[in-house]
Amino acid sequence: MEFLEASRAGRDTLLVVAAARGFPLGEHRRVGPCDDALYGELVRAPLAMRFPSGLGVAARSQAMVEPADLWATILDWFEVGDAPTTLTGRSLLPVVRGDLDALRDRLCIMGHEADRAGLTPFWYLRKTEALELFVYPDDFWQVNNVSDRCLEVAGMMEAMISQYCQAIQSSQSPYSSPLPERLLVGAD
């Protein structure tokens, strides 16, 4: 960072540091690149951006973002107006500027074969052969599976993932239909 600040070229450089995936460190009895189970320690990955103007210095956000957002953010930063769009990618600049707290109310993750996961501000569902539902962000480490106690929420989350996948496969926006209110509030 000192090098970037010391040179004119560095002061005009947009620096992005990102990881492709998280790294399990013992959560869920997994260490290192052992499998692709869609738990939080694998799907939460670091992203740090340093803007030349000092925009967002030391700011942090809990906004749900996905890889396509990085591409959209860079295009927005360089004001590339006629760039092709994606179904899901959104510029992070409104969040960095403090204009928005969140870009979306859900994320869905497609893993290997039938592995899927869905995230809303208050719920995380992991779907393999069975369903695992976690209260998010309270159960950040995804230790307490509440799927057998919150059957209605688990069903709604499963339907959300299914609708998301169908929308993507048919080249439609996966965010066009509103989520049920129950998915946007915490556990009672």
- pLDDT tens, position by position, 78-137: 998 766 667 788 999 999 999 999 999 999 999 888 899 999 999 999 999 899 999 988
Distances (CA, A) of 145 to 25, 126, 127, 135, 151: 19, 10, 12, 8, 11
**What's the pTM value of the predicted model, to 2 decimals?**
0.86
- pLDDT tens, position by position, 134-171: 998 899 889 999 999 999 999 999 999 999 999 998 98
- pLDDT tens, position by position, 45-64: 889 999 988 888 888 888 99
Cα–Cα distance, 8 to 19 (Å, whole number): 27
Q: Which domains does the chain have, with CATH numbers?
A: 1-54 (no CATH), 63-103 (no CATH), 105-188 (3.30.1120)
Burial of 35 per CB tally in 10 Å (0-12, 13-18, 19+): middle
The DSSP result for 48-94, as a single string, is: EEE-TT-TTTT--------HHHHHHHHHHHTT-TT----SS---SHH
